A and B are shown apart, each in its own frame.
Chain A
Amino acid sequence: MHGWRRARLTERTKQTATGRTLTFEVPHWPGHLPGQHVDVRLTADDGYQAVRSYSLAAPAGAGGDRIELGVQATFGGEVSPYLADDLPVGAEVEVMGPLGGWFVRTPQDRGPLLLIAGGSGVVPVMAMLRARAASASGDPCVLLYSVRAPDEVWYATELDAVAEGVRVRLLYTRTAPEGSRRPAGRITADDLLGMPPPTDTHCYVCGPTAFVEHAGELLLAAGYGPDRIRTERFG
């Protein structure tokens, strides 16, 4: 599980101005659970190496030895801008994984699901949604997805298709589309009205630290137990 494996970039898809989906071919990939991540290692000509973690965006199985990562380029970053725009298709990096045993949804996990994502925090959540679609689970499922503006939505076209039986509610924080009933603004207690009940719902919250802190407070205030809220923060 923990050795470095060579991974060849086979496809890069633009999600937003700075967000990319990268598909790698990794021979003998052992599989993974929705919510897990990998470490990606880059090596410069002088031997210098840099490593960062990226979430897996798709469940294992469907793609065989292929894995899909979500990369959000951060301005001035050492690794993410290179992965987002410079690594040539066909070139190789190294990956280690899968990693992470906590922010995961296993096939045995049952019950209503409340997914709350901010920005590129939707990536590991997308793996859970895609796995749910593949398993034809009938459990209630809601995605609350907070983005600054309509052009920052990842998986925009796929969200409709993956969403059979899933309620997707987009929460725009800066700019809402014309005709939106909800005014632009960060997630509030009102946005949690009508969600699956606290009694048996599992919550997964992923996004920038301030977003996760705030959403976590709202969930606790709405009666969701701390032991049913799993979080992943970045930035």
Chain B
Amino acid sequence: MGDLSPGFHGKSHAFAGRLPPGQYPTESFPVLSAGPTPDIPTGRWSFTLTGEAGESRSWSWDEMMALPQEEPTVDIHCVTRWSKFDTRWRGVPLDVFLDAMETAADFVVAESFDGYTTNLPLEDVTDGKAWLAHSFDGFALSPDHGGPARLVIPHLYFWKSAKWVKGLRLTLDNEPGFWESAGYHDYGDPWREQRYWSD
């Protein structure tokens, strides 16, 4: 070890314990997206839950805003190695949507207005672990960060927290999404540093 990067001391030690391996803390809020930012007026926004047999249930923007809301404050971890502490969101727990439908599915695919997809085990988005968020830090979520609404699933790398999300599709089998098909880990636990296929 001693012969690598001589003279390097580092600055992030103070966050040990809160910082997953290989991450660094950031004060800013970087934007990571594969393409341009889509424009989705709330007037034509809807959120659709689709069952494994094809049945579906949709919520308009106003219907979604009338659902029970929560204000989680969470640490988030991006696979590009930044972590941001104590981010404040407002939104609907995914349990509220998922409770509206009986299912035998074990997995879910989040689908976005721009065609992005990401896959998750169903148990990772239930029991208060995931939200459909429409506000960040007290303000309406901006388009570059996924507005009008995105998923927030803080215990997994943040690419799982799909921006511009338009629905959840329940599936019996695991269906790898956009980044999961492009070399990134299927599950993405930051504390086990599951970044890539081989991790």
Contact = CB atoms under 8 A, between A and B. Distances in A.
Contacts of A102: 34, 182
Contacts of A86: 7-8
Contacts of B24: 50-52, 78-79
B6 interface: yes
A102 B183 CA distance: 10
A2 B198 CA distance: 7
Contacts of A217: 36-37
A229 B182 contact: no
A111 interface: no
B6 A88 contact: yes
B29 to A, nearest CB: 9
B115 A235 contact: no
B13 interface: yes
B5 A43 contact: yes
B192 interface: no
A23 B166 CA distance: 44
Contacts of B4: 6, 42-43, 91-94
A159 to B, nearest CB: 26
A87 B33 CA distance: 32
A213 B5 contact: no
B86 interface: no
Given A39-B81, A234-B30, A48 B10 contact: yes
Contacts of A230: 34-35
B142 to A, nearest CB: 10
Contacts of A1: 196, 198
A136 B56 CA distance: 52
Interface residues of A, number: 46
B9 interface: yes
Contacts of B100: none
Nearest to A82: B8
Contact of A87 (B1, B5, B10): B5
B144 interface: yes
B31 interface: yes
A44 B9 contact: yes
A51 B81 contact: yes
Contact of B11 (A78, A87, A234): A78
Interface string A221-235: 000001101110111
Interface string A125-160: 000000000000000000000000000000000000
B3 interface: yes
Interface string B149-188: 0000000000000000000000000000000001100000
